[in-house]
Amino acid sequence: MKRWMDFWWTDAPARAARLTGAFGIVLRDGHYLRAITPVAAVAPAAAIAVGFIAGWRHPLATDVYTTSLFLMAIGLVVGTLSSAVGAWLLAGYAVGDIFLGVRDAAFNGAIGNLAKTWAALLLADAILAILIVLIPLTARVLADELAQRYLARAGRIPAALLAAVAAAGLAFAWTQAALVLTRPFFAWHSLSPTSTELDALHAAAFVLPLLAAAGTLLRVFAEEELEPREPPLPELPERAHRKVPLPLGIAWRVGLSVFLLAGLMESWIDPIVVAVVMAMLIALREPALRRLGQNLHLMMRFPVLPRLLLGAVVSAIIGIILVSALGTVSVIRPVVISTLVSLIVFSIVLPDHVLSEHVPESHDALGHPHPTGAVPVTAPPAPPPLP
């Protein structure tokens, strides 16, 4: 049992961290389970097996997971208690669904049709990863930062409540975006979303936020009980620093973003326009932000969570104005435009992740050395803004 526990919680995260630090962090999240050796040894393997069967046989859903409230709920609860176990569940589900999944005839047939199905399933699984891996991690990180700055003497309860509220809000936002973001699964086959999917996501808008909040609170109390009893955990190795050429880095980010936003695209011109605008934004935003100087420095002294909420509110207002101004004959294209505008808004209110990529760790995101005892203004990772 100990050998398997060490593999899942020490060896696998260490290997992943050498590729990218984020993978290592994800595969170690929930390490408090190591206080119960059998659970820590079996949970990841069990998650892979359950996910594989769910993706292969579709006992809980038809075609895509958004048709099953139960499947989305199980994934969210597992990911909230441990993003690592949630990631293994997602991996098993993706393999079973993409390669062996039972689907209607419309999604099979010629190799071209199968390729569209596989691409749409890969996109849908990436959207599912946001729900069961990224949202639980981000909610806790943002809440912890806010609590450490202003509620450090109040104990863990305020941080737990903040994390629960943040997780619930992000889960609700996901339910509103999931129908559009997973749209290619049906649209690429000239189909419309089923009534089952619409009903499941409608119910999910109420159920998933409650589960996210409850799971977050349960996670906090479980950590408090189990962490003191778990064996010492070695540090994750640093990622091998490989300098990626700037054009290649921009191309990777733009390609990934356009793929994730494929559900917003109405015609072939949309991804081209989005790619060009995003490439220009990514290339120009860092020097443009630096020109703001001390004004930006003052903004980054506020916690990330309030700034994230501010960016969401401003983006929502702009989106409503754009959709109203451009008409409702085509809702998709105004949403594409408002999404690009929201990226600019979030770059301004959350510049930390942009600027911190270009300065040493001993300095803050504007290049100023951290004063002794000061709270660094480099932000924790945040999820991409959902349309």
Look up the pTM and report it: 0.84
Instruction: Determine the average pLDDT of the residues in 237-245.
Output: 71
pLDDT of residue 66: 92
Structural domain contains residue 82: yes
The reply to whether 202 and 117 lie within a common domain is yes
* Domain hosting residue 294, numbered range: 246-358
Structural domain contains residue 372: no
What is the domain count for the chain?
A: 2
**Which of 183, 200, 229 marks a domain boundary?**
229
pLDDT of residue 350: 77
The reply to whether 300 and 272 lie within a common domain is yes
Q: What is the mean pLDDT of the chain?
A: 83
Q: What are the tens digits of pLDDT across the range 21-59? A: 889 999 999 999 999 999 999 999 999 999 999 999 888
pLDDT of residue 364: 42
The reply to whether 158 and 183 lie within a common domain is yes
The reply to whether 145 and 287 lie within a common domain is no
* Bigger pLDDT: 1 vs 43: 43
The reply to whether 267 and 162 lie within a common domain is no
pLDDT of residue 203: 95
On the question of pLDDT at 370 being above 70, the answer is no
Instruction: Determine the average pLDDT of the residues in 120-134.
Output: 95
Structural domain contains residue 241: no
The answer to which of 77-86, 317-326, 340-349 has the lowest mean pLDDT is 317-326
Instruction: Determine the average pLDDT of the residues in 249-270.
Output: 85
pLDDT of residue 80: 97
The answer to which of 46-55, 118-127, 136-145, 294-303 has the lowest mean pLDDT is 294-303
Structural domain contains residue 106: yes
Non-local CB neighbours of 15 within 8 Å, separated by 6+ positions = none
* Bigger pLDDT: 310 vs 208: 208
pLDDT of residue 209: 97
Structural domain contains residue 277: yes
Instruction: Determine the average pLDDT of the residues in 359-371.
Output: 41
* Bigger pLDDT: 17 vs 157: 17
The reply to whether 225 and 250 lie within a common domain is no
pLDDT of residue 103: 82
The reply to whether 223 and 280 lie within a common domain is no
On the question of pLDDT at 371 being above 50, the answer is no
Instruction: Determine the average pLDDT of the residues in 299-305.
Output: 79
pLDDT of residue 374: 33
Structural domain contains residue 69: yes
pLDDT of residue 360: 42
Confidence of residue 129 (pLDDT cuts 50, 70, 90): very high
pLDDT of residue 295: 67
Confidence of residue 71 (pLDDT cuts 50, 70, 90): very high
Confidence of residue 96 (pLDDT cuts 50, 70, 90): very high
On the question of pLDDT at 256 being above 70, the answer is yes
* Bigger pLDDT: 83 vs 291: 83
pLDDT of residue 88: 97
Structural domain contains residue 307: yes
User: Is the distance from CB of 357 to CB of 150 less than 8 angstroms?
Assistant: no
On the question of pLDDT at 206 being above 80, the answer is yes
The reply to whether 135 and 276 lie within a common domain is no
The reply to whether 172 and 141 lie within a common domain is yes
- pLDDT cut 70: percent of the chain above it: 86
Confidence of residue 330 (pLDDT cuts 50, 70, 90): low
Instruction: Determine the average pLDDT of the residues in 100-128.
Output: 87
On the question of pLDDT at 154 being above 80, the answer is no
The reply to whether 222 and 272 lie within a common domain is no
* Bigger pLDDT: 293 vs 318: 318
**Which of 229, 257, 288 marks a domain boundary?**
229
What's the chain look like in SS3? Answer: CHHHHHHHHHHHHHHHHHHCHHHHHHHHCCHHHHHCHHHHHHHHHHHHHHHHHHHHHCCCCCCCHHHCHHHHHHHHHHHHHCHHHHHHHHHHHHHHHHHHCCCCHHHCCCHHHHHHHHHHHHHHHHHHHHHHHHHHHHHHHHHHHHHHHHCHHHCHHHHHHHHHHHHHHHHHHHHHHHHHHCCHHHHCCCCCCCHHHHHHHHHHHHHHHHHHHHHHHHHHHHHHHHHHHCCCCCCCCCCCCCCCCHHHHHHHHHHHHHHHCHHHCCCCHHHHHHHHHHHHHHHHHHHHHHCCCHHHHHHCCCCHHHHHHHHHHHHHHHHHHHHHHHCCCCCHHHHHHHHHHHHHHHHHHCCHHHHHHHCCCCECCCCCECCCCCCCCCCCCCCCCCC
The reply to whether 211 and 334 lie within a common domain is no
pLDDT of residue 49: 96
Structural domain contains residue 59: yes
The reply to whether 195 and 65 lie within a common domain is yes
